[in-house]
Amino acid sequence: MQFDSWQAFINMGGYGIYVWSSFAGTFLCLGLLALEASWRRSVLAREATKQAARAERILRARAAKKRAAKEEPN
C-alpha cells in the first residue's frame, strides 16, 4: 500500500483531480456502452412481442372472417 490515509489516496500527491477524472471518465464511457447494449436488447424484445401479437391478431381475424363467410350463405 502506497498511501498512509484515505486523504492521501484521494489527493494522489496533488494530482487527484487528474487521476480520478480520467478513471471516472473511462468507467462512465464503458458503462454507457454496457447500458446501451442492455437497453437495446429490451427494446428489441418489446418490439418483437408487439409484432408477434399483431401477427397473431391478423391470423385470428382472418380465420374468423373466413368462418363467418362460410356461415353467412346458409
Partner 1 sequence: MWRWLHPYAKPEATFALTQKLIPWFAVPGLVLVIVSLVWGLAFAPPDYQQGESYRIIFVHVPSAMWAMGFYVGMAIAGVIALVWQIRTAELAILAIAPVGAMLTFISLFTGAIWGQPMWGTWWVWDARLTAQLILLFLYLGVMALYVAFEDERAGAKAASILAIVGVINIPIIHYSVYWWNTLHQKSTVTRAITRLEAPSIAPEMLWPLLVSILAMLLVCAALVLMRLNNEILRREIHRPWALQHLGIHFATADNKKEKGDADAV
Q: Around Cβ 11, how many Cβ atoms within 10 Å?
A: 15
**Interface pick for partner 1 out of 37, 72, 73, 74 (rule CB under 8 A):** 37
Residue 67 found at the interface with partner 1 (CB under 8 A): yes
Q: Determine the Cα angle at 37 with ends 17 and 48, to 5°.
A: 155
**Interface pick for partner 1 out of 7, 34, 72, 73 (rule CB under 8 A):** 34
Residue 74 found at the interface with partner 1 (CB under 8 A): no
Q: How far apart are the first and last CA of the chain?
A: 91
Residue 61 found at the interface with partner 1 (CB under 8 A): no
